[in-house]
Amino acid sequence: MKNNIEEYMKRIDDVILSHLDGGHVSGTITEAGRYSIKSGGKRFRPYLLFAALDAFSTPLERGLKTAGAIEMIHTYSLIHDDLPAMDDDDLRRGNPTNHKVYGEAAAILAGDNLLTEAFQLIAGDEQLDPATRLEVIRIISNSAGHNGMIGGQMLDIEAENREISFEELEKIHKYKTGRLISAPVHTALVIAGAENHTASHLLSFSEYLGIIFQIRDDILDVTGDVKVTGKNTGSDARKDKVTYVSTFGLEGAKERMEQKVSLAEAELDAVSGTIDVTELKNVLNRFAIRDY
Amino acid sequence: MKNNIEEYMKRIDDVILSHLDGGHVSGTITEAGRYSIKSGGKRFRPYLLFAALDAFSTPLERGLKTAGAIEMIHTYSLIHDDLPAMDDDDLRRGNPTNHKVYGEAAAILAGDNLLTEAFQLIAGDEQLDPATRLEVIRIISNSAGHNGMIGGQMLDIEAENREISFEELEKIHKYKTGRLISAPVHTALVIAGAENHTASHLLSFSEYLGIIFQIRDDILDVTGDVKVTGKNTGSDARKDKVTYVSTFGLEGAKERMEQKVSLAEAELDAVSGTIDVTELKNVLNRFAIRDY
């Protein structure tokens, strides 16, 4: 019997929210954290983690808290990213950003808290033996820290309002968004106990996925409908950000995205004889190609 | 042969700085992190951890990375605390605060990074078996998160510019500073494998120490010399903060501090037959009582 991913996608919010509800010192911290978790998002990273576990017929229960922790880290990064000192955004997923509702101080602390509690969630995950939990913590902190997301965010901020090369742009994406998109696949491989050859193809797949995701984001910033994406369009252009679209034009960006989709599919095809990549192909369809 | 704590105190900075130097994506993130680590501080928490390990004759090497991680978390909390949206301080330990040197965005990210990399440091600590590392991560994330430091920081911010009761004040301190002062003792007990009775007395000791530390901080805000403390004096009064001094007066605050010191000493005396508490008594002398 195959895993039911939809069921686990419904449980992701519960896992995170019930963990946040365990905070009994400051109601504001709990509430501000809940607000950003509940304000939606596609839960792309949890879905990807579940799809990767499914490929190995590993029970999704074993990845539930890891998926929740990665989503918490993703959410903290959005809260901090939206702050006036960073991207200064008022709207996120169609709702006022965290600091617009709770103030800057609470938003900074709520972000800090989601990051801190993400590690608490994994450390207490009884579904995984201690060595596996540690490896998961290692992968996630590596993906989120100076050699991952934070490194990329800093590069991104320093690239604003100046000319950057395409190589620089790719480096920013690789770290800023790419590493935390690889993390669900990487942690799933550890949880599932994947052997090296398969793991290496799926990691390459996840790296292409990160690039695809970013190109799509750049495209949606131009073509997207605020009612669907929940984001104001044109914000990259207003900030003079170099994007795939500003570099290659809309058609050029789409072309590049399709090239990467083919490469990602080829990685899945390379292992489709040993594992069932159906759900991972669905990820590509559901999150990467769809052009809303 | 007894441990040489001074030797390990010298190694704390190396452990943290060499970990930060492992960040190869953004020079700014590395530099901003180094800046706040190198700008001094008493390294009270590492010293406390070493003193607690020493009581059990446990090699300090086994606590080196945990001590570094706790100091990184303490430092990140100072960086975020100093931000304009929080305490808005320009001076810390006699130097310009992180955001004054690197800008707000970099300071937010450098703080996020110290927090993230603290967990990476512990997760990779080969001195400790996986189960111990996990327990250490659990204690530290608990002490730093919504039921610890962050919860207390939020209460503290919400208490500004309004009347608060003494009970509220104590609750703020218990979480804001107390939990991350208990953490070095708590993690040391786990690393040393302390039995319950001893552990319980030392945990009580660490809780008194947290309160002592806070009262002393309130006193120094009034009596301290900026050249020695590195902080502008009188900032609590300027912000209308309720402190031990504003509540009980300078003499009343000192009296309360001495009461807590006696209680802390009594906890050490209760276990001095089974372990060697010499260094823990030194902590009290070195950091808590000294009135500079």
Across B47-58, average pLDDT: 97
Closest to A118 measured CA to CA, from A24, A27, A15: A15
pLDDT tens-digit profile of B194-248?
A: 999 999 999 999 999 999 988 988 898 888 766 666 566 777 777 777 788 988 9
Residue A70 has pLDDT above 80, yes or no: yes
Amino acid, res. A44: F
Cα(B24)–Cα(A269) distance, integer angstroms: 33
Q: How far is CA A24 from CA A285, B112, B155, in A?
A: 41, 23, 11
Closest to B61 measured CA to CA, from B127, B15, B6, B122: B127
- Tell me how far the alpha carbon of residue A235 is from its chain's centroid: 20
Contact between A37 and A75 under an 8 Å Cβ cutoff? The reply is yes
Of B30, B120, B130, the CB nearest to A142: B120
Q: How far is CA B11 from CA B39, B46, B135, B177, in A?
A: 16, 10, 24, 24
Contact between A157 and B105 under an 8 Å Cβ cutoff? The reply is yes
CB atoms within 10 A of CB A77: 23
Under an 8 A CB cutoff, do B146 and A112 touch? no
Residue A255 banded pLDDT, cuts 50, 70, 90: very high
Task: Give the H/E segment covering residue B233.
Answer: none
Domain A5-289 belongs to what topology?
A: Farnesyl Diphosphate Synthase (1.10.600)
pLDDT tens-digit profile of A118-177?
A: 999 999 999 999 999 999 999 999 999 999 999 999 999 998 878 888 899 899 999 999
CB pairs under 8 A between A and B: 178
Q: How far is CA B225 from CA B36, B204, B233, in A?
A: 21, 31, 7
The whole-number pLDDT of residue B95 equals 92
Burial classification of residue B63, based on how many CB atoms lie within 10 Å of its CB (0-12 exposed, 13-18 middle, 19 or more buried): buried
Token duo for residue B267: 């906890």
More confident residue, A272 or B231: A272
Task: Give the H/E segment covering residue A43.
Answer: none
Contact between B209 and B288 under an 8 Å Cβ cutoff? The reply is yes
**Hey, is A92 helix, strand or coil?**
strand
CA distance, residue A137 to nearest chain B CA (Å): 7
The whole-number pLDDT of residue A118 equals 98
Q: Spell out the residues 6+ positions from residue A249 whose beta carbon is closer than 8 angstroms to its own.
A: none
Closest to A168 measured CA to CA, from A244, A69, A77, A90: A244
Residue B137 banded pLDDT, cuts 50, 70, 90: very high
Q: Spell out the residues 6+ positions from residue B170 whose beta carbon is closer than 8 angstroms to its own.
A: B211
Most confident of the ranges A172-181, A277-286, B219-228, B277-286: A172-181
For residue A87, report the phi and psi dihedrals to the nearest 5 degrees.
Answer: -80, -15
The whole-number pLDDT of residue A292 equals 43
Contact between B175 and A25 under an 8 Å Cβ cutoff? The reply is yes
Enter the DSSP assignment of B94.
T
Residue A1 banded pLDDT, cuts 50, 70, 90: very low
Across A29-35, average pLDDT: 98
Contact between A199 and A65 under an 8 Å Cβ cutoff? The reply is no
The whole-number pLDDT of residue B221 equals 87
Contact between A16 and A68 under an 8 Å Cβ cutoff? The reply is yes
Question: Which chain B residues are Cβ-neighbours of A119 within 8 angstroms?
Answer: 119, 137, 141
For residue A194, report the phi and psi dihedrals to the nearest 5 degrees.
Answer: -65, 145
Closest to A190 measured CA to CA, from A129, A144, A251: A129
Query: Which of A105-119, A177-191, B2-16, B117-131 shows the lowest mean pLDDT across its residues?
Result: B2-16
Query: Which of A207-221, B30-44, B113-127, B278-292 shows the lowest mean pLDDT across its residues?
Result: B278-292
Residue B291 banded pLDDT, cuts 50, 70, 90: low
DSSP B273-287: TTS--HHHHHHIIII
Q: Evaluate whether ipTM surpasses 0.90.
A: yes
Instruction: Return residues 97-126 of B near A (CB < 8 Å).
Output: 103-106, 108-109, 111-113, 115-117, 119-120, 123-124
CB atoms within 10 A of CB A149: 30
Residues linked to residue A96 through DSSP beta bridges, in sequence order:
A91
Burial classification of residue A291, based on how many CB atoms lie within 10 Å of its CB (0-12 exposed, 13-18 middle, 19 or more buried): exposed
Question: Which chain B residues are Cβ-neighbours of A21 within 8 angstroms?
Answer: none
Query: Residue ranges per domain, chain B?
Result: 5-289
Of B105, B108, B151, the CB nearest to A29: B151
The whole-number pLDDT of residue B225 equals 67
**Which of B74, B109, B180 is the best mutation test for A, with the most CBs of A within 10 A?**
B109
- Chain A residue nearest residue B80, CA to CA: A108
Contact between A98 and A110 under an 8 Å Cβ cutoff? The reply is yes
The whole-number pLDDT of residue B3 equals 75
Contact between A54 and A5 under an 8 Å Cβ cutoff? The reply is yes
Closest to B32 measured CA to CA, from B82, B86, B66: B82
More confident residue, A289 or A283: A283
pLDDT tens-digit profile of B28-47?
A: 999 999 999 999 788 999 99
Amino acid, res. A222: V
The whole-number pLDDT of residue B231 equals 61
Task: Give the H/E segment covering residue B92.
Answer: strand B91-92
Average model confidence (pLDDT) across chain A: 92
Contacts 24+ apart (CB under 8 A), B284-289: B284/B209, B284/B212, B286/B47, B287/B42, B287/B44, B287/B47, B287/B48, B287/B213, B288/B209, B288/B212, B288/B213, B288/B216, B288/B257, B288/B261, B288/B264, B289/B261
Residue A29 banded pLDDT, cuts 50, 70, 90: very high
Cα(B3)–Cα(B14) distance, integer angstroms: 19
Instruction: Return residues 141-180 of B near A (CB < 8 Å).
Output: 141-142, 144-148, 150-155, 157-158, 171, 175
Cα(B72)–Cα(B36) distance, integer angstroms: 9
Residue B292 has pLDDT above 50, yes or no: no
The whole-number pLDDT of residue B1 equals 44
Residue A227 banded pLDDT, cuts 50, 70, 90: low
Cα(A152)–Cα(A149) distance, integer angstroms: 5
The whole-number pLDDT of residue B228 equals 60
